[in-house]
A and B are shown apart, each in its own frame.
Chain A
Amino acid sequence: AQSVTQLGSHVSVSEGALVLLRCNYSSSVPPYLFWYVQYPNQGLQLLLKYTTGATLVKGINGFEAEFKKSETSFHLTKPSAHMSDAAEYFCAVTPGTDKLIFGTGTRLQVFP
């Protein structure tokens, strides 16, 4: 079975600091990996996804993630945090079908 583990349920950074949200996956087949963001009282918005090809994936709002097979990781980064980045971030993987399996989420707080 496929799964993802997000390390750290809460991450706090200062505005302008590097954002690093960790995601490790478990999969017996090549995974398809996603990062979604959820702002308070809103739906899930796709930030970026990895399917095949380039392992460094760029997404919206300045976020990017790197697929590292050797480390079974798909960490999300942003060089400089903005107050508007405060939200819940979910890493997700698809198993053999198309449904998404989500991690438990990481709440990002950004302090001025």
Chain B
Amino acid sequence: AAGVIQSPRHLIKEKRETATLKCYPIPRHDTVYWYQQGPGQDPQFLISFYEKMQSDKGSIPDRFSAQQFSDYHSELNMSSLELGDSALYFCASSTTPKGLGNTIYFGEGSWLTVV
């Protein structure tokens, strides 16, 4: 079965540079979530989109932005990168944002290292 696809899987950037992560949700899933997992930390919710509109916002820095496109894929843009942004970034998808208890499926994650 198709899963959530994230690219790139690994990314190395220097401080103050910009990075873009891409996420392709499971077909027919209309909701996308972004999570950040620091080393040895639990995943922290950043932001979510439903039908191309932001549906919820968590601890996403102002330096980060995200959007969902007409084909439902999503991109997380990170600017002015800091060493502390080094983390595993997960994208996840599900069907409908208000279906409480819907399973949220995660991608393999994108490793960002800022040097």
Q: Which residue numbers of A lie inside 8 Å of B, CB to CB?
A: 32, 36, 42-46, 49, 51-52, 90, 94, 97-105
With beta carbons under 8 angstroms apart, the residue of B58, B104, B105, B109 that contacts A98 is B104
Q: Which residues of B contact A101 (CB under 8 A)?
A: 45
Number of interface residues of B (CB under 8 A): 29
Q: Which residue numbers of B lie inside 8 Å of A, CB to CB?
A: 4, 31, 33, 41-45, 48, 55-56, 58, 90, 92, 94, 96-109
Q: Across the A-B interface, how many residue pairs have beta carbons closer than 8 Å?
A: 62
CB of A22 to closest CB in B, whole Å? 15
Q: Which residues of A contact B103 (CB under 8 A)?
A: 46, 49
CB of A90 to closest CB in B, whole Å? 6
A-B contact pairs, 6 of them (CB 8 A): A32-B100, A46-B103, A97-B48, A100-B45, A102-B42, A104-B42
| Inter-subunit contact B100/A51 (CB<8 Å) | yes
CB of A45 to closest CB in B, whole Å? 7
CA A32 to CA B102, docked complex, whole Å: 9
| Known A49-B103, A90-B43, A98-B55; further 19 A-B contacts with Cβ < 8 A | A32-B100, A43-B90, A43-B106, A43-B107, A44-B106, A46-B104, A46-B105, A51-B101, A94-B101, A98-B56, A98-B96, A98-B98, A98-B102, A99-B48, A99-B58, A100-B33, A100-B45, A102-B42, A103-B42
| Inter-subunit contact B94/A98 (CB<8 Å) | yes
With beta carbons under 8 angstroms apart, the residue of B90, B96, B100, B101 that contacts A44 is B90
Q: Which residues of A contact B33 (CB under 8 A)?
A: 99-100
CB of A87 to closest CB in B, whole Å? 14
CA A98 to CA B92, docked complex, whole Å: 12
Q: Which residues of B contact A100 (CB under 8 A)?
A: 33, 43, 45, 104
